[in-house]
Structure 1
Amino acid sequence: MPTLPQLDIKNNCNHSPHVLILGAGASYAAFPEGDRNGIKLPLMNNLVEVIGLEGLIAKYDLKYEGENFEATYDALVHSGNYDELVSEIDHAVEQYFQQMELPDEATIYDYLVLSLRSKDIIATFNWDPFLAKAFQRNMNVIGYEQMPQLAFLHGNVSIGVCNDCKSKGWRYNSCDKCQKQFGPSKLLYPVSKKDYSSDLFLESEWKNLQHHIQYAYFITVFGYSAPVTDAEAKKLMLDVWAENGTRDLAQIDLIDVKEREEVKENWKDFIVRKNYAIRDDFFDTYLAIHPRRSCDAFAMATLQQRPWKDNHFPKGVSLKDLQNWVMALVEEEKSGKLSGNPCD
């Protein structure tokens, strides 16, 4: 028998988490023309060309013929003969992503970090700094306690770690406990069999995501197709999703530009009956229609038969205006009771 979500009818609050999972497609959707300075965001099918790794590969008397970077990198690692080349590729990739910057205007990443509350989590497979930087600049206005949790499943160029104190923070800050500067978080590269348990930081990030999936009432997947090289990641998520007593009542939103049947096929093991929606635009999803209220509004509509009016994110506004709009929701959250009324 399905388990009801953590819905407090008296205060209209659903304390079950919303889980947002991001892949490279989310960053590409946010910055199709590149970052603030026009630096292009590479995807696995063009990473070698965009970053310019052809010359590096040729230096080792190898020929690159347009293969997907995942296949190329996996073959190099498993051959056991190109450790130095692999190390040079790792460094080049990290240096490329470290230089990327957010523009001053509001981006999809600003909308994403403002769409969820502290009970929720955003988990990303991306190395790029956009999620971390959007979180930081909005946290300074909204407040850290009002922001969602973050998990960096493959490491991140903006996140540092202190292995001694088992803490993480912004890459170039110092550990609050020992005052030593953070070291870089481990970037997990695309090999066919990934080890998420050998690195303490990555293991901790995965455990946090798994905990949220186990109790999630809503899951949104944005631009992540669960590729073959992420078979272990898919299993880690699916195992705890199977233990989620609320999943028969929960909803999954899939944001992807691929054909609907292909997207559905990728996530068929997670879908329960018809409790899913496939969109090609973030602004058509529940997160954008009911920001910071997705789990609450969904429960009121489906379990209480008292749907709330839509409260769409404002589009085409400045970052400051977007933050001001969100602050009305934040102030209501602090009262402990949600009205379900849309913002003015």
Structure 2
Amino acid sequence: MALPALDVSENKNNSPHVVILGAGASFAAFPNGDKNGRKLPLMYNLVEVLGIGYLFEKHGVKYDGDNFEAVYDQLSKSGQHEELVQEIETAVEEYFRDMELPDEPTIYDYLILSHRPKDIIATFNWDPFLAQAYQRNMRAVGFENMPRIVFLHGSVSIGACMPCKTKGWVYNRCDSCGKQFTPSKLLYPVSDKNYSAAPLLFGEWDELQRHVKHAYFVTVFGYSAPVTDAEARKLLLDVWQENQVKDFALIEVIDIKSSEEVKASWADFIVRENYAIYNDFFNSYAAVHPRRSCDAYAMATLQQSPWQDNPFVKGQTLKELQEWTLNLVEEEQGVLSSKGVTK
């Protein structure tokens, strides 16, 4: 057992905040679709939303509206429908690649802006939204002030140069050799995943695990750790159990399911009663104390000196939101306010 990296003299907690995103996070951000009204598919309606039922008919495979996870897992394991599997993957990648953030601020913009370089946001989602939000906010607040982001199942926005062991936006070139990045391979919902087999994904998982091992705050947003992600859950739990500050840390879950169901799902991660459950991102610690979640939680629990809330201002344009956040970024260059309020 150990204390977090809290510097009381400056009211700074340098332990990381880890955010883990599932499909529910993207759906919460875009319940009516993306910028162009393109609906975000979930596993239970992916075939219908993408309109790929005809592919099953074309290959003489019966599809009864089953969950895509189960259907794809069965097709993949059978080894009898390789052409169908390839056509499904192509349709999925093309659909997600065309999705765009709307011009106004989204939950993904708030997520990116509410965390610091010590923090990490990890997503299981294939969609481009986290990457797009990172790009457009990086230009406003600076790369050096952004959290880390990793893509645990790949993303249509990310590419890599494996010989040079570098990654970047899929349309860019490798800084080392100048070759076009190869699109990251999406990891599809099969029950027997092997994260170590894909070098890019292995690196993403390694970075997440290093942060989880030292995390003081863990937020799980819209991710339920389904049966097909058994290996992912084990990778997270094993390293969480090595975390020396977990006795003081908080597990926060944002989900629309009942509190009882959510708590049961994450019971093996929860230490004593150190957890919080919300059904709205804007009630979460990062939204109420942007860029100060670990600091504010440590001051409230370890120092018995709670900070005044400083929530995001709703209704702002993206530019206004970025300018508001820049006040916090500038404050970080000096000493954090003892009350957690912007200067």
Does residue 37 of the first structure (1) align with residue 36 of the second (2)? yes
Alignment of 1:18-29 (within 5 A): 18-29=17-28
Partner of 1:148: 147
Report the Cα distance in structure 2 between the residues aligned to 1:173 and 1:338, rounded to whole angstroms: 39
Report the CA distance shift for 1:290/1:164 in structure 2 as closer, same or farther (over 3 A): same
Alignment of 1:188-267 (within 5 A): 188-267=187-266
Q: Deviations over 1:274-316 (max 9, x none)?
A: 1001100000010101010000010011001111110111111
Does residue 183 of the first structure (1) align with residue 177 of the second (2)? no
Q: Structure 1: which amino acid aligns with 2:91?
A: A
- Superposition RMSD on alpha carbons, in Å? 0.9
Partner of 1:132: 131
Q: Structure 2: which amino acid aligns with 1:188?
A: L
SS state at 2:197 partner:
coil
- Asked whether the 8 Å contact 1:210–1:237 carries over to 2, the reply is yes
- Asked whether the 8 Å contact 1:44–1:69 carries over to 2, the reply is yes
Partner of 1:302: 301
Does residue 287 of the first structure (1) align with residue 271 of the second (2)? no
SS state at 2:156 partner:
coil
State TM-score, norm by structure 1.
Answer: 0.98
Q: Structure 1: which amino acid aligns with 2:99?
A: M
Partner of 1:98: 97
- Asked whether the 8 Å contact 2:160–2:168 carries over to 1, the reply is yes
Alpha-carbon shift at residue 266 of structure 1 (Å)? 1.1
Q: Structure 2: which amino acid aligns with 1:223?
A: G
Alpha-carbon shift at residue 340 of structure 1 (Å)? 3.2
- Asked whether the 8 Å contact 1:13–1:338 carries over to 2, the reply is no
Report the Cα distance in structure 1 between the residues aligned to 2:315 and 2:64, rounded to whole angstroms: 41
Q: Structure 2: which amino acid aligns with 1:133?
A: Q
Q: Deviations over 1:13-44 (max 9, x none)?
A: 10100000000000000000000000000000
SS state at 1:136 partner:
helix
Alpha-carbon shift at residue 339 of structure 1 (Å)? 3.6
State TM-score, norm by structure 2.
Answer: 0.99
Q: Deviations over 1:155-186 (max 9, x none)?
A: 00001101011010011011111111101011
Alpha-carbon shift at residue 52 of structure 1 (Å)? 1.1
- Asked whether the 8 Å contact 2:331–2:342 carries over to 1, the reply is no
SS state at 1:151 partner:
strand
SS state at 1:100 partner:
coil
Report the Cα distance in structure 1 between the residues aligned to 2:71 and 2:289, rounded to whole angstroms: 42
Report the Cα distance in structure 1 between the residues aligned to 2:300 and 2:147, rounded to whole angstroms: 23
- Asked whether the 8 Å contact 2:296–2:340 carries over to 1, the reply is no
My pick for the range that moved more, 100-109 or 260-269, is 260-269
Report the Cα distance in structure 2 between the residues aligned to 1:106 and 1:339, rounded to whole angstroms: 29
Gaps of 5+ in 1: none
Task: Provide the identity percentage.
Answer: 64
- Asked whether the 8 Å contact 1:22–1:123 carries over to 2, the reply is yes
Alpha-carbon shift at residue 10 of structure 1 (Å)? 1.2
Q: Structure 1: which amino acid aligns with 2:190?
A: V
Alpha-carbon shift at residue 337 of structure 1 (Å)? 4.2
Report the Cα distance in structure 2 between the residues aligned to 1:186 and 1:206, rounded to whole angstroms: 15
- Asked whether the 8 Å contact 2:292–2:340 carries over to 1, the reply is no
Report the Cα distance in structure 1 between the residues aligned to 2:178 and 2:278, rounded to whole angstroms: 45
Q: Structure 2: which amino acid aligns with 1:271?
A: I
Report the Cα distance in structure 2 between the residues aligned to 1:59 and 1:260, rounded to whole angstroms: 43
The count of residues paired between Structure 1 and Structure 2 equals 343
- Asked whether the 8 Å contact 1:325–1:343 carries over to 2, the reply is no
My pick for the range that moved more, 334-343 or 34-43, is 334-343
Q: Deviations over 1:234-266 (max 9, x none)?
A: 000000000001001000110000121111111
Report the Cα distance in structure 1 between the residues aligned to 2:16 and 2:340, rounded to whole angstroms: 21
SS state at 2:333 partner:
helix
- Asked whether the 8 Å contact 2:27–2:40 carries over to 1, the reply is yes
Gaps of 5+ in 2: none
Report the Cα distance in structure 2 between the residues aligned to 1:274 and 1:6, rounded to whole angstroms: 22
Alpha-carbon shift at residue 203 of structure 1 (Å)? 0.1
Report the Cα distance in structure 2 between the residues aligned to 1:315 and 1:252, rounded to whole angstroms: 25
Partner of 1:48: 47
Alpha-carbon shift at residue 338 of structure 1 (Å)? 4.3
Partner of 2:73: 74
Report the Cα distance in structure 2 between the residues aligned to 1:199 and 1:126, rounded to whole angstroms: 17
